[in-house]
Structure 1
Amino acid sequence: AVGEAFDKAAKILGLPYPGGPVIDKLAQTGNPDFMTFGRSLVDGYNFSFSGMKTSFLYNLQKKVKEDPDFVAKHLNDICASYQNALLDVLFKKLELAVKDYGIKHVAIAGGVSANSGLRKRLIQLGTDKNLTIYLPPFEYTMDNAAMIGIAGYYNLLAEETAPLSISASAKIKF
């Protein structure tokens, strides 16, 4: 998940958990083109950020070996570059889905929906592609549990329930 990719990078940088909001704040005054990180692009609409996390770690290790103060000197630029790389992957997939399915409405939810870079890009995409964009207020972006809870509430009202024997699968195909 992209939130976990933000958190891993923050940990590597010595930033507090959760790392996404910290990286986002630092990225706002950094140069998104300062560093290049590999973009993990799997086929279709699926995401994988493991290659990007590895690219982040190895690039940073190389730079720190050359200059031990690299992170301290360039923290905002590092954060902006990594955030930009993660958002590039998200938006490549989103734009593909918009094109392939004729999507006209886009909503985001979960913790990463608070990310200022994501919100700005989504608003711009809406303008460019004539999409209706739904952004939750910031107070509803901090915890995915709120979104899951409200979905469960509406399913219960509609008497749409699942048996207790249901199980989760991380490998389910969509």
Structure 2
Amino acid sequence: HAGSVTIDFPRGLSAARDLERHRFDFSFSGLKTAVARWVEARERTGEPVPVADVAASFQEAVCDVLTRKAVAACLAVGADHLVIGGGVAANSRLRVLAESRALERGITVRVPRPGLCTDNGAMVAALGSELVRRGRSASALDIAADSSMPVTTVVA
């Protein structure tokens, strides 16, 4: 929009030194810190903080990293489809950027309509249902949540 400012926030784990070891990893802690410091610097000097510009620039940094790394992962494993799900898939900028970058590389993007992109719990439940259908025992109802558990770990 007129008068808007683009803020060049960092892209986590995207520097050349990170691309081998952390090629497909995401980290947004540095981005969150950069945003906080940028805002704090303006507040200290009494400058107005353009909230919409900060939010748009933050969104662009996140979408840039997610889409570049997702397309790179598809290319690395020879996948010709990229499936985007969960709450982040409701983001219109992410959808547009993913479609554009994937199309350039011959990759088809599949993403549910936004109304179906709101609950990661539903995706976890669908996976659990499929595992039980294939013969794995269901987890106990008192199983504890573990946000740091690798996605490759299945708990019975």
**Fold agreement, TM-score > 0.5:** yes
Question: Quick check: 30-39 or 54-63, which moved more?
Answer: 30-39
Q: Distance in 2 between matches of 1:85 and 1:132?
A: 23
Corresponding residue number in structure 2 for 1:61: 40
- SS of aligned partner of 2:24: coil
Q: Which residue of 1 aligns with 2:6?
A: 34
- Name the residue aligned to 2:128: 152
Structure 1 counterpart of 2:83, one-letter code: A
State the secondary structure of the residue aligned to 1:133: strand
In the superposition, the TM-score normalised over structure 2's length comes to: 0.77
Following superposition of structure 1 onto structure 2, how do residues 62-141 of structure 1 map, counting pairs within 5 Å? 62-68=41-47, 70-71=48-49, 74-141=50-117
What amino acid maps onto 1:112 in structure 2? V
For 1:58, give the aligned amino acid.
Answer: R
Q: Give me the whole-angstrom Cα distance separating, in 2, the residues matched to 1:65 and 1:146.
A: 43
- The answer for the alignment partner of 1:170 in structure 2 is 148
Structure 1 counterpart of 2:27: 48
Write the distance in 1 (CA, Å) between the matches of 2:40 and 2:2: 20
CA deviation vs aligned residue, 1:128-167 (integer Å, no higher than 9, x gap): 1111211112221111111111222222222233665x88
1:172 deviates by 4.0
Report the structure, 1 or 2, having the larger helix content.
1
Q: Distance in 1 between matches of 2:42 and 2:36?
A: 10
RMSD: 2.8
- Alpha-carbon distance in structure 2 between the residues aligned to 1:127 and 1:92: 12
Q: Return the letter of the residue paired with 1:46.
A: D
Moved more, 155-164 or 45-54: 155-164
C-alpha spacing 1:161/1:108, structure 2 compared with 1 (3 Å): farther
CA distance in 2, matches of 1:103, 1:33: 37
For the pair shown, the structure with the greater C-alpha radius of gyration is: 2
Three-state SS of the structure 1 residue aligned to 2:109 is strand
**Shift in CA distance, 92/132, structure 1 to aligned 2, threshold 3 Å:** closer
- Identity level (%): 30
| Residue-by-residue CA offset, 1:33-87 (whole Å, 9 max, x unaligned) | 611112211522121111111011001111222334x22xx22221111101111
Q: Which has the higher contact order (CA 8 A, sep 6+)?
A: 1
- Specify the SS of the correspondent of 2:136: coil
For normalisation by structure 1, the TM-score amounts to: 0.70
